[in-house]
């Protein structure tokens, strides 16, 4: 079975690599939109239009499942794409606010996301549904995706995240952009072993397994 992975830039490659490990029976193909990266500062309509255009190679490859490995694209486009292409299963990414809130003993979490994701209705709904009694810190990560995309991951400023952990006793950090997966080890090293750093690759694989099992069952 063909599984497509789309991201605006290189973040999707990290997701695809993990999916190839977890789903060895699947043929994982990728698509990107390097000329227009990053998406995080664009309007929802623009992100939808760019995403629809960029996934055409995955649709042409007859991917049964397409992963929108981009929180910004998921928030802006996934509902409309499901209407546009009803015979394709779309798996989106959402910030892991629910598991972070459940895991946090200190009741303080850090969400690292693009401006577009933080402003999206999906993210606001997640916060409303799952963070009652939880302090959510949203450091300025607006330049992270561009820095990582240009292969300068070692230059990402993690000080705002470190301060949140040290001053506010945050004990869970959510990486809510697939570009940030490339710096997961840097973040873990910076915040210390007592802090849990979450990213959704394993959850995506589990969802794909459920979808493919359902397809085979028909």
Residues of the chain with pLDDT > 90: what percent?
63
- CATH class for the region spanning 2-93+201-217: alpha beta
52-73 burial by CB neighbour count: b if 16+ within 10 A, else e?
bebbeebbeeebbbbbbbbbbb
CATH 3.40.50.1860 domain residues, the chain: 2-93+201-217, 97-198
- 63 is annotated as an active-site residue: no
pLDDT confidence tier of residue 8, bands split at 50, 70 and 90: confident
pTM of the predicted model as reported, rounded to 2 decimal places: 0.82
Catalytic-labelled residue, pool 63, 112, 141, 177: 177
What values do phi and psi take at 106, rounded to 5? -85, -10
| pLDDT per position as a tens digit, 17-43 | 888 988 888 899 999 998 998 888 888
| Mean pLDDT value across residues 94-115 | 94
Task: Give Dmax (Cα) for the chain.
Answer: 53
Question: H or E stretch including 111?
Answer: strand 108-112
Report the pLDDT value the prediction gives residue 216, as an integer from 0 to 100.
64
Report the pLDDT value the prediction gives residue 182, as an integer from 0 to 100.
87
Residue 153: both structure tokens together = 């991951």
More confident residue, 42 or 106: 106
Report the pLDDT value the prediction gives residue 108, as an integer from 0 to 100.
97
Q: 97-198: which CATH architecture?
A: 3-Layer(aba) Sandwich (3.40)
pLDDT confidence tier of residue 217, bands split at 50, 70 and 90: low
| Mean pLDDT value across residues 168-197 | 93
- What residues are paired with 66 via a beta bridge? 4, 90
Pick from 135, 130, 117, 125: which is nearest to 175 by CA? 117
- 70 is annotated as an active-site residue: yes
| pLDDT per position as a tens digit, 131-173 | 999 999 999 998 998 899 888 989 999 999 999 999 999 999 9
Catalytic-labelled residue, pool 63, 70, 112, 141: 70
Residue 218 has pLDDT above 60, yes or no: no
- Look at strands 89-92 and 108-112 and give their pairing: unpaired
| pLDDT per position as a tens digit, 39-66 | 888 888 999 999 999 999 999 999 999 9
Report the pLDDT value the prediction gives residue 204, as an integer from 0 to 100.
86
User: Residue 187 contacts by C-beta under 8 Å, 6 or more apart in sequence?
Assistant: 112, 158, 161, 173, 175, 180, 197
């Amino acid at each position: 079975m063909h599984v497509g992975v789309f991201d605006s830039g290189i973040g999707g490659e990290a997701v695809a690599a993990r999916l190839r490990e977890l789903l060895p029976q699947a043929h994982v193909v990728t698509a990107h939109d390097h000329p227009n990266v990053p998406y995080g500062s664009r309007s929802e309509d623009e992100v939808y239009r760019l995403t629809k255009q960029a996934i055409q190679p995955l649709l042409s490859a007859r991917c049964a499942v397409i992963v929108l490995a981009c929180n910004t694209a998921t928030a802006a486009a996934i509902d409309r794409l499901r209407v546009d292409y009803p015979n394709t299963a779309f798996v989106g990414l959402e910030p892991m606010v629910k598991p972070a809130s459940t895991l946090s003993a200190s009741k303080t979490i850090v969400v690292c996301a693009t401006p577009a994701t933080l402003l999206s209705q999906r993210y606001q709904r997640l916060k409303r549904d799952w963070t009652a009694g939880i302090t959510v810190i949203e450091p300025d990560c607006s330049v992270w995706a561009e820095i990582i995309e240009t292969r300068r991951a070692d230059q990402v400023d993690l000080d705002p995240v470190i301060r949140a952990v040290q001053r506010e006793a945050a004990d869970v950090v959510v990486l809510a952009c697939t570009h940030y997966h490339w710096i997961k080890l840097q973040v873990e090293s910076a915040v210390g072993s007592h802090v849990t750093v979450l990213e959704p690759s394993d959850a995506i694989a589990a969802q794909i397994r459920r979808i493919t099992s359902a397809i085979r069952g028909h």
